Amino acid sequence: MILQALNDYYWRKMADPDPTRRLPALGLEDKEIPFIVELDRDGRLVGVKDTRTLHGKKSVATKYLVPQGVKRAAGVAANLLWDTAEYALGIDTRRKPDRVAEQHAKFRDRIADLPQDALGDEGVRAVQHFLDNDPLEQFDGSPVLSELRESNPVVAFRLLGDTDLICQRTAISRSLALENEEQASADTSICLVTGSECLPARLHTAIKNVWGAQTSGANIVSVNNKNTNGNNGGQTPAFASYNKQQGLNSPVSKGATFAYTTALNHLLAKGSRQRMQVGDASTVFWAQQADPLEDVMASFFGDGDDPDARTEEIRALYESVHGGRFDGGRGNKAFYVLGLAPNAARIAVRFWHADTVSGIAHRITAWFDDLKVARGPKDAEYPSLFRLLAATAVQGKADNIPPNLGGDVMRSVLDGRPFPTTWLNAAVQRCRAEQRVTYLRAAAIKACLNRQSRQRSSISDHKEFLTVLDTTNTNAAYRLGRLFAVLEKIQEEASPGINATIRDRYYGAASSTPVAVFTTLLRLKNAHLKKLATGRVIWFERLLGEVLGTVDNFPKHLPLPDQGRFALGYYHQRQAFFTKASDDATDTTIQGN
């Protein structure tokens, strides 16, 4: 289904009325060409045009529609009328003259193999004349030669006075069309994407820009080994069953192969608004039909360049969902989310989700509802997924986020299922290790616990947590967290400006083995209260009575979910101390002065 959805997206883009937004036709690709070698009709070098321009601090070359590049790794294979300086001009950039000579010969052979009609084109003849007359000798003394030697850039050819490259001329386009025609063969199969009879593509175009994969690209559809003639005791290898090698093992037509790889590379391209990074998974998304959700989906989970604009986009999504704008035809359109992760020379599908536009919109708002928790004025109203994951990683570094965690969380967001226990565990462990419950960790803990509680709605003790302090929540772990926050507040008021509080010394033990520390903390509390004014003492005593009212005893040990409830109780009570009293009748928090 993944390849079929990508194939459909390709044809949707091909039908776009705006020609600048269409994807390349079969046999072509968009390629950045830094240097264009300009020739006269007789094949003499006229000059070299540098197409690069500065975008910020980066130099970016102009893109041209050229014949699709060949797939190569260690072997030698040339592109048609465009390639690197080594292939196209025979310039030795790595001091490997024998290999460069072989590459340049392949480049010339590729041109010589063109049909007679194409060989008669004046542009093709000019390139052949230029290559016959020693390109290096013609470049002698040119200031651009040193740069060609240093960086081995991609180059193409153009006739003087023309606007199109030689590889874009009509004769070349016709030859490509003939080359891509599928002829009847004994190897025809049923295409897995289109369901029609086809001659399967032997190799599939590499997918690029997957974070962590090889820079030259990697494959989704591939076979481990094409060699069936090795030392295998005369037996056919398992990956070549029925003697089907390479692409014949998973038959996809050349047209469908081109379509799905072109579409996926377009979605993954640098600067694409339809991609985002979720942990180690490069994630792309698209709709069955054009929809504004495609342009803003990434901002819902990422940081974005403009935080204010991102916040407004999320608020607009809430308004659209609650206003019923996703009902009807728009909401019924299919929407796809694909997460890809590197796996050596291949690409692993980390997650795949197909839903309606309406379903996706409701899942996203549910995600932010679950995360919503009391926050400070400088905390983001809608935290990004990356920040949430990094907050639960060691030292807050992206490199320390577990490899599968981002994909697992995203899958839960899209499916509406409970979040992975590993995320809750990571958030609780960071709170204990750093003796600090931050806004992002509290948001993650609340989201995890609330989704778990919905699966256990029959258990009254597993009540969903509110955004702010809930004085009606009688869960013992939640109450103990509140108690710890009250005891810390008493210590802070008794010793203003204190460098370290009971949190720095006792938080880890209090949240995991309460009985071991709370008797000591309650005894220390009495000494701290003696330093406070009578009015504050009375207020704190009333608060302690309210918090301890439903706590019968201190547990010997709190399991992981209860450690999360402890952290949330502590966080809620701390936030309540610094929040002004509300006139809202539903606000049952007890506020400090």
Question: Using CA of residue 60, residue 65, residue 71, residue 72, what is the dihedral sign?
Answer: negative
Report yes or no on 14 lying in a domain.
Answer: no
Domain range for 78:
27-179
Distance CA 198, CA 183 (A): 9
pLDDT, tens digit (0-9, with 9 covering 90-100), for 337-350: 999 998 767 899 99
> By three-state DSSP, how is residue 207 classified?
strand
Chain position carrying tokens 């935080």: 307
Report yes or no on 19 lying in a domain.
Answer: no
Same domain, 447 and 476: no
Which of 446, 461, 476 marks a domain boundary? 461
Same domain, 111 and 128: yes
pLDDT, tens digit (0-9, with 9 covering 90-100), for 538-562: 999 999 999 998 888 899 999 999 9
Report yes or no on 3 lying in a domain.
Answer: no
Distances (CA, A) of 349 to 22, 102, 389, 535: 26, 37, 20, 62
Report yes or no on 201 lying in a domain.
Answer: yes
Q: How many domains is the chain built from? A: 4
Distance CA 70, CA 383 (A): 43
Per-residue pLDDT, 152: 92
Distance CA 86, CA 69 (A): 15
Which of 461, 490, 511 marks a domain boundary? 461
> By three-state DSSP, how is residue 347 classified?
strand
Q: DSSP secondary-structure letter at 533?
A: -
Strands 189-190, 197-198: pairing is antiparallel
- Classify residue 563 as left (phi > 0), alpha (psi -120 to 50) or beta: alpha
Same domain, 247 and 319: no
Q: Which CB contacts under 8 angstroms, 24+ apart, belong to 454-460?
A: 454/418, 455/418
Which of 407, 435, 461 marks a domain boundary? 461
Residue 190 is inside which H or E element, if any? Answer: strand 189-190
- Classify residue 134 as left (phi > 0), alpha (psi -120 to 50) or beta: left
Same domain, 81 and 63: yes
Same domain, 376 and 491: no
What burial class does residue 536 get, using C-beta atoms within 10 Å of its C-beta: 0-12 exposed, 13-18 middle, 19+ buried? middle
Same domain, 192 and 110: no
Report yes or no on 290 lying in a domain.
Answer: yes
Distance CA 189, CA 182 (A): 12
Q: Which has the closest alpha carbon to 200: 248, 164, 264, 241?
A: 248
Same domain, 513 and 573: yes
> By three-state DSSP, how is residue 105 classified?
helix
- Cβ atoms of 310 and 299 within 8 Å: the answer is yes
Per-residue pLDDT, 21: 87
> By three-state DSSP, how is residue 239 classified?
helix
Same domain, 410 and 346: yes
Per-residue pLDDT, 183: 47
Q: How many Cβ atoms sit within 10 Å of the Cβ of residue 442?
A: 27
Question: For the CA atoms of 37, 38, 40, 46, what is the dihedral angle to 10 degrees?
Answer: -90
Q: DSSP string spanning 554-569?
A: --S---HHHHHHHHHH
Distances (CA, A) of 132 to 48, 75, 168: 18, 24, 22
Distance CA 513, CA 524 (A): 18
Q: Which residues have C-beta within 8 Å of that of residue 66, sequence separation ≥ 6?
A: 28, 29, 30, 31, 33, 79, 81, 82, 156, 165, 167, 168
Q: Which has the closest alpha carbon to 416: 353, 460, 374?
A: 353
Distance CA 113, CA 93 (A): 27
Distance CA 6, CA 193 (A): 10
Report yes or no on 473 lying in a domain.
Answer: yes
Q: Which has the closest alpha carbon to 243: 221, 255, 228?
A: 228
Phi, psi of 42 (to 5 degrees): -95, 5
Report yes or no on 393 lying in a domain.
Answer: yes
Per-residue pLDDT, 582: 42
Report yes or no on 238 lying in a domain.
Answer: no
Lateral strand order in the sheet of 334-343: 275-278, 281-287, 334-343, 346-356
- Cβ atoms of 480 and 514 within 8 Å: the answer is yes
Per-residue pLDDT, 240: 62
pLDDT, tens digit (0-9, with 9 covering 90-100), for 90-135: 998 888 889 999 999 999 999 999 999 899 999 999 999 999 998 8
Same domain, 137 and 113: yes
Ranges of the chain whose pLDDT falls below 70: 73, 179-187, 224-247, 344, 457-462, 580-593
Q: Which has the closest alpha carbon to 171: 209, 120, 129, 137?
A: 120
Same domain, 312 and 450: yes
Q: How many Cβ atoms sit within 10 Å of the Cβ of residue 471?
A: 18
